[in-house]
Chain A
């Protein structure tokens, strides 16, 4: 086992850059694999072993690997989200869930539909932006050394922090629901039949309730994943 020289490290980095890996998690893993392998060989064997590695980690293989990683990451985050949300309906967490629903219901009774919709949507939007920003920031921080080594900030392709993105996507998709919250009050104002008002209000409460649960689960998912993953 030996340490690679600066010149050897440069050759490794050049070889990896040629693969145009944009998913940071994969880049980190490939780089570590290359170095771990090459450290076990002498200087005279270095070039030959680097060629052996390059023949295994082809451009196409890296593409497939990173695409699969993104898919797996999305799948894992969604699964985690779903588990957490299901957990809110099990003892003892269900107590807090019932209190939350009661609070939202009470709020809907004392506020006008428009104020109710905006008082639930606004914090969610602000929180989601803070959440997204902090995720991107922490991912960039964790990959700082790698970004510097590979001079990635100057690269043309967009860097992808797959695990952070999966978390943001899982959160963001459900946060698209606020559009209904915006349109809901309009529907209330325009609706004429008496009975339909309560029905629409009920949908608004349910959406606000769902957004709250998703927000809590996104935060919890981040807490869990940040201990282990690169986000």
Chain B
């Protein structure tokens, strides 16, 4: 399993990317989707997920929608217009970071290969 510190640094990007592809999701669904996509390699903890969701909502990048499910309330998150713009920025930032890390880990790799 990947280190929690590594995941925490890219958690916002993960959330935004998932919501870009899935339109709307609720908290538990996000944890399960990440687990499924990474074959259990990355597990998002509740301790990190919900504060991140609330922060993104407060920043105006996410909006919420309430649905009644059985006898309880379910809060769905989706991207706002600002959130949609932010996804590409965050992804480019992460991509660039990963490339830089690759160069550090494998100094023999040429930058023009675009890894």
Task: Enumerate chain A interface residues (CB-CB to B < 8 A).
Answer: 3, 25, 28-29, 31-33, 35-37, 56-57, 61, 65, 68-69, 72-73, 75-76, 79, 142-143, 145-146, 149, 228-230
New contact pairs (12) apart from A33-B27, A36-B28, A145-B73, CB-CB < 8 Å: A29-B27, A32-B27, A35-B72, A56-B45, A57-B46, A65-B54, A72-B58, A73-B58, A75-B58, A79-B58, A143-B73, A229-B66
Q: A37-B28, A75-B58, A228-B65 are in contact. Are A56 and B47 (CB under 8 A)?
A: yes
In contact, A32 and B50 (Cβ under 8 angstroms)? no
The proximity string for B residues 71-102 relative to A, scoring 1 for CB distances below 8 Å and 0 otherwise, is 11111000000000000000000000000000
In contact, B54 and A68 (Cβ under 8 angstroms)? yes
Residues on the B chain within 8 Å of A69, using CB: 54
Q: A32-B75, A61-B47 are in contact. Are A228 and B66 (CB under 8 A)?
A: yes
- Across the interface, A31 reaches (CB within 8 A) one of B50, B66, B72, namely B72
- Across the interface, B46 reaches (CB within 8 A) one of A31, A56, A228, namely A56
B:10-47 near A, CB below 8 Å: 26-29, 45-47
Q: How distant is A14 from chain B, measured CB to nearest CB, in Å?
A: 16
In contact, A145 and B58 (Cβ under 8 angstroms)? no
Residues on the A chain within 8 Å of B65, using CB: 228
Nearest CB in chain B to that of A26: its residue: B50
In contact, A146 and B72 (Cβ under 8 angstroms)? yes
CA of A131 to CA of B26, assembled, Å? 30
Number of A-B contacts (CB under 8 A): 72
Residues on the A chain within 8 Å of B29, using CB: 36
Residues on the B chain within 8 Å of A29, using CB: 27, 50, 75
Q: A32-B27, A33-B46 are in contact. Are A142 and B51 (CB under 8 A)?
A: no
Q: How distant is B48 from chain A, measured CB to nearest CB, in Å?
A: 11
In contact, A230 and B66 (Cβ under 8 angstroms)? yes
Candidate in A32, A76, A149, A229 with the most chain B CB atoms within 10 angstroms:
A32
Residues on the A chain within 8 Å of B75, using CB: 25, 28-29, 32, 230
CA of A229 to CA of B58, assembled, Å? 12
CA of A79 to CA of B72, assembled, Å? 29
Residues on the A chain within 8 Å of B54, using CB: 65, 68-69, 72
Question: Does B104 lie at the interface of the complex (its beta carbon under 8 Å from any beta carbon of A)?
Answer: no
Q: How distant is A162 from chain B, measured CB to nearest CB, in Å?
A: 10
